[in-house]
Amino acid sequence: MADIATESTVAKRLREMLNEEKWTRATLGAYSISNLKELDALFHEASGLKVLDEVRDVCDEHLGHSKNSIIALYLSGVIALARQQIDDSNMVSLINIFVDNKKWQIVEFICERILEFGENRYALQKLAECYQSEDRDNDMYTVWERLIRIDYEEADIVKFLAEKAEKDGRTDDAREYYRKALHRYIGKGLFTNVKEIWNKLLEYCPDDIDFFLHVQRKIAKQISEDKAAGLLFDLYKHYKSIESWDIAIDILKVVISYDEKNPLPRKEIVECYRGKFAGHSNLEEYIRVSNLSQSYRSLSEAIGEFEKHIAFDVGNFVYHRTWNIGRIADIRSDEITVDFAKNRGHVMGLKMAIDSLITLSRDHIWVLKAVWSKEKLHDKVVSDHAWVLKTVIKSFDNCADLKKIKAELVPSILTDREWTGWSSKARKVLKEDPLFGNAKDDINSFIVRDRTLSFDEKTYNHFKAETNFFARVSCMRDFMEKGDPDSDYFAEMLAFFTGFTRMTSQINEYVVSAYLLLKEIATKYPHLKANLSISLQFGDIFNDIDDVVAIYDGIRDTELRRYFLQHIRNFVPEWPDVYARILPYSLSQAMLEILAANGHIEKLKAMVLSIVENYRDHREAFVWVVKNLWGEVWVKELGLSYEKIVITMLHILDISFKEIENHRDTTENRKINKQIHNLLFKENALTDFLAGSDHDTIERVYMLLTDIKDLDPAIKIQMKKYVIDRFPDFKFSGEEEKTVVSRGLIVTTEKYSEKQKLLQEIMEVDVPANQREIAFALSLGDLRENAEYKAAREKQDELNTKVGKLKNEIERAQIFDKSTISTSKVTFGTMVTLKNELIDTEERYTILGPWESDPANNIISYLSPLGKKLINHKVGERVAFVIHERKFQYSVLKIEAAQL
């Protein structure tokens, strides 16, 4: 109980009012709107004096023993509304008291007061009842329109609004209301209502086939397939009546998938095929051989066989894996004649043709490649992205991804370079053009639609095709930016996220992200707050998080991460400690500045020390500290040795190379490797450090550098040259003159670069081209006799062998430092003049490596049989040896440095 002696004057006055209400037992009839306005004045006075908490406590205490106190219910309820609290039970109780007593004017006042703070489902419902009781129909309809925007389950009122719009002649509004009502009745499982509105929409928009097909899938899933099939049959009748055979057949196929044994669809689909292929020369024969009209044959199988046969008609194009594109010239009895480019008049049995030929439409991309000139097709592809996308996608059962599209265009029409720019524009067309959509179960595949989709429908379909939670978040944001938040598409997308906020038994990144997204939506669309079911407070959610760093890392959306950090700061008392834990993973300059601005420098110091000491676990954070914080005064106060920092960077570089080689977290390690590489060698951190170091430090750092196996040998040579140029008398401990490294082979810089470019060309040009050849060969089917596939696989094996050999050689290569050439004896990089004592002639050889070897020009490898015998000999020495049973005897006349 509050301490009455220290209460504010407002609280004391409130107690007096409550006591008067209690002891006089004021009747409801005595209450008026003026009384409630007086309570509002008290509320505003308390708010101005910042004593609302006192007022609320007094009201709550009073309600404990006088639950129907009008004063306490009203003031407590208004305070809760002003603070945007979820609990509106006091206001609901208050409204019910006055509704039960038919005090409609007061009910209206209270409802309007509630709605001043935002849309409220219960207040709108009761306000509509007020207007209805007073025969204020127009006001009632206006409130209903507001109500259905926040109550996605309300169906009857939506239907009433549809009927009102219909009566008023507002056809477009009526259609939209009926659509909303249909979705909501499906959700409630009320098939009688569903059927009524389905038939109503058949009158209004029978041609909106995508809408009806979308809705029937919901009916099949949430009510029953039988019910969906019955409604589809009504839709089918419309398309049959206007002889839209393709759509009529598609509808029947869906009906058949639900109930194949029903004899009626069999009869109807035969009639549709007769309508569609009325001019086909072999129509009746194909109906007969496929047993399409025979009840003993599986209807699905019969349809498949019929459609395979019917595609064969005079003038149609076909594809053969050996003879490529051809055109059917004649069909007689069981024989078919096809004109191929290199095999005109080819005759084959109809059964063999059906098994070995693929029928193609006239606008199939393969046909266009065959009949159009390359220049014409190239110009069309470059100038009309939408046309070529539609052409390629429709060529492959109206479903293709960008990989497939590229395989059809590169290199036959576009070059790899042209594809780069072309594909960027193509992606934009696929995203924005309403004629394109995503395949139902594959976000990366696209389809072409027969009619344009609204932005809402297109985004919704994209959302449904996505399987990644955060990709769906992105779709939701697109919808929020350009779509209609009052649509049923938005409601279905919203339901996906609200479902996560109910999964509070184990808080994970999806629960947190859904909660944050719903709060974001509530901020943008305040009228939806009542429908978002955000019952939890962030503090409660945070208290149930086991690992805040894992949650942060799991939130794969920049805006939600920012919102998460903002909520931590606003609602978590120990937020500085939480920020310090997250910062090594977020690497956020904004978080760092917030901690510093709030005086938490010691926490930042402790964080930096932890990162430096545990750099193996915080490699990316370590790089971030060195790049962004090393110059900060508070970091310098830690007294960290820069030598230790440099040595640690070299160690991280070595670790990342090894993990890349072992295919462990390759992407992350490549990123860290590149950052360290840039810091040390491009931003000159290493040379700047060495410039001010003593002999022992330089030697220690240089040895660490040379021990990094996969570091570019050119960098090692460059660093050695830097040390020698700066300190000419510097001696590298333990390094003796070498002719051959212990592993690998010595190469010149020029040859090393040449081999790297060759590997790059194979990986970026030859391998992708071979992959396209394999993909094309696979599309031909029947790999057993597929010559194209076998040839492509042989080429793949050849490329793999070449790549493996090149990679191994490049890995083993050690770039030769020209500055180390010594003419004291025969070594790599020298030119030696010999006297052949067996025939008394002079011979001159340049000693290089296997990559540079050119025996015709007397350039030999130090690994060749002759090279091995000459290595390490000095001027004046004689050497005799036998190679392949042939005797050699030389004396060394002169050793010079070769021109490299």
Query: pLDDT tens for residues 680-695?
Result: 988 989 988 888 888 8
Pair of tokens at residue 298:
């599986």
Q: Which residues contact residue 575 at a Cβ distance below 8 angstroms, ignoring those fewer than 6 apart?
A: 568, 569
* pLDDT-based confidence at residue 892 (cuts at 50, 70, 90): very high
Exposed / middle / buried, residue 354 (Cβ in 10 Å: 0-12, 13-18, 19+): middle
- State yes or no: pLDDT of 453 exceeds 60: yes
- State yes or no: pLDDT of 155 exceeds 80: yes
- State yes or no: pLDDT of 488 exceeds 60: yes
* pLDDT-based confidence at residue 777 (cuts at 50, 70, 90): low
| H-helix or E-strand spanning residue 285 | helix 283-289
Count the alpha carbons within 13 Å of 274 in the hemisphere toward its beta carbon: 12
Query: What pLDDT is attached to residue 740?
Result: 42
Give the pLDDT mean for 92-114: 92
Q: What residues form DSSP beta bridges with 319? A: 325, 358
Contact at 8 Å (CB) between 455 and 483? yes
* pLDDT-based confidence at residue 771 (cuts at 50, 70, 90): confident
Considering only CA atoms, which of 797, 808, 810 is closest in space to residue 757?
Answer: 810
DSSP assignment of 427-471 equals HHHHHH-TTEEEETTEEEEEEE-SSPPPHHHHHHHHHHH--SHHH
Q: Which residues contact residue 659 at a Cβ distance below 8 angstroms, ignoring those fewer than 6 apart?
A: 665, 666, 669
* pLDDT-based confidence at residue 732 (cuts at 50, 70, 90): low
Backbone region of residue 44 per phi and psi (left: phi > 0; alpha: psi in -120 to 50; beta: other values): alpha
How far is it, in rounded angstroms, from Cα 899 to Cα 148? Answer: 87
Backbone region of residue 292 per phi and psi (left: phi > 0; alpha: psi in -120 to 50; beta: other values): alpha
pTM of model > 0.85:
no
Mean pLDDT over the full length of the chain:
87
Upstream peptide bond of 411 is cis (omega within 30 degrees of 0): yes
Query: pLDDT tens for residues 369-390?
Result: 888 988 999 999 999 999 999 9
Query: What pLDDT is attached to residue 779?
Result: 60
| H-helix or E-strand spanning residue 800 | helix 787-812
Question: How many CB atoms sit inside 10 A of residue 507's CB?
Answer: 19
Q: What residues form DSSP beta bridges with 449? A: none
Query: What pLDDT is attached to residue 27?
Result: 64
Pair of tokens at residue 324:
């490529």
Query: pLDDT tens for residues 553-589?
Result: 999 999 999 999 999 998 899 999 999 999 999 999 9
Question: How many CB atoms sit inside 10 A of residue 864's CB?
Answer: 17
- State yes or no: pLDDT of 808 exceeds 90: no
Give the pLDDT mean for 351-359: 86
Determine the residue type at 405.
I
The torsion angles phi and psi of 318, rounded to 5 degrees, stand at -135, 165
How far is it, in rounded angstroms, from Cα 45 to Cα 832? Answer: 105
* pLDDT-based confidence at residue 229 (cuts at 50, 70, 90): very high
DSSP assignment of 475-503 equals HHHHHHHHS-TTSHHHHHHHHHHHHHHT-
DSSP assignment of 386-437 equals HHHHHHHHHHTTT-EEHHHHHHHHTTTTS-HHHHHHHHHHHHHHHHH-TTEE
| H-helix or E-strand spanning residue 891 | strand 886-897
Question: Of the given ranges (27-31, 70-74, 566-570, 864-868), which has the lowest mean pLDDT?
Answer: 27-31
Please report, in angstroms and rounded to a whole number, the separation of the first and last CA atoms in the chain. 96
Contact at 8 Å (CB) between 854 and 848? no
Question: With pLDDT > 90 as the criterion, what percentage of the chain qualifies?
Answer: 49
Give the pLDDT mean for 879-890: 90
Question: Of the given ranges (59-73, 357-371, 484-498, 572-586), which has the lowest mean pLDDT?
Answer: 484-498
| H-helix or E-strand spanning residue 883 | strand 878-883
How far is it, in rounded angstroms, from Cα 713 to Cα 677? Answer: 13
Give the pLDDT mean for 40-61: 92
Query: What pLDDT is attached to residue 842?
Result: 93
Query: What pLDDT is attached to residue 741?
Result: 40
Q: What residues form DSSP beta bridges with 318? A: 326, 359
Q: Which residues contact residue 665 at a Cβ distance below 8 angstroms, ignoring those fewer than 6 apart?
A: 659
Give the pLDDT mean for 393-398: 92
Q: What residues form DSSP beta bridges with 860? A: 847
Query: What pLDDT is attached to residue 72?
Result: 93
The torsion angles phi and psi of 466, rounded to 5 degrees, stand at -70, 140
- State yes or no: pLDDT of 310 exceeds 50: yes
Pair of tokens at residue 498:
């609200």
Query: What pLDDT is attached to residue 767?
Result: 84
* pLDDT-based confidence at residue 117 (cuts at 50, 70, 90): confident
DSSP assignment of 215-281 equals HHHHHHHHT-HHHHHHHHHHHHHHHHHTT-HHHHHHHHHHHHHH-TT-HHHHHHHHHHHHHHTTT-T
Considering only CA atoms, which of 657, 727, 654 is closest in space to residue 687?
Answer: 727
Contact at 8 Å (CB) between 218 and 233? no
Query: What pLDDT is attached to residue 742?
Result: 40
Residue labelled with tokens 């030929």: 357
Contact at 8 Å (CB) between 154 and 128? no
Identify each DSSP E strand in 266-388 by its residue range.
317-320, 324-332, 335-340, 343-349, 358-360
Query: What pLDDT is attached to residue 744?
Result: 59
Query: What pLDDT is attached to residue 474?
Result: 93
Query: pLDDT tens for residues 811-852?
Result: 778 888 787 788 889 999 999 999 999 999 999 999 998 889
Considering only CA atoms, which of 262, 251, 240 is closest in space to residue 209?
Answer: 251
Query: pLDDT tens for residues 589-600?
Result: 999 999 999 999
Query: What pLDDT is attached to residue 24?
Result: 57
How far is it, in rounded angstroms, from Cα 578 to Cα 187? Answer: 43
Give the pLDDT mean for 108-114: 93
Could you tell me where the DSSP H helices lie in 503-557? 509-524, 538-543, 548-554
Sign for the CA dihedral angle at 847, 850, 852, 858 comes to positive
Instruction: Report DSSP state, residue 683.
Output: S
Contact at 8 Å (CB) between 473 and 496? no
CA 571, distance to chain mean position in Å, is 31
How far is it, in rounded angstroms, from Cα 713 to Cα 371? Answer: 54
- State yes or no: pLDDT of 507 exceeds 80: yes
* pLDDT-based confidence at residue 36 (cuts at 50, 70, 90): very high
Query: What pLDDT is attached to residue 530?
Result: 61
Determine the residue type at 9.
T
Give the pLDDT mean for 744-763: 86
How far is it, in rounded angstroms, from Cα 1 to Cα 411? Answer: 83
Pair of tokens at residue 263:
């004899």
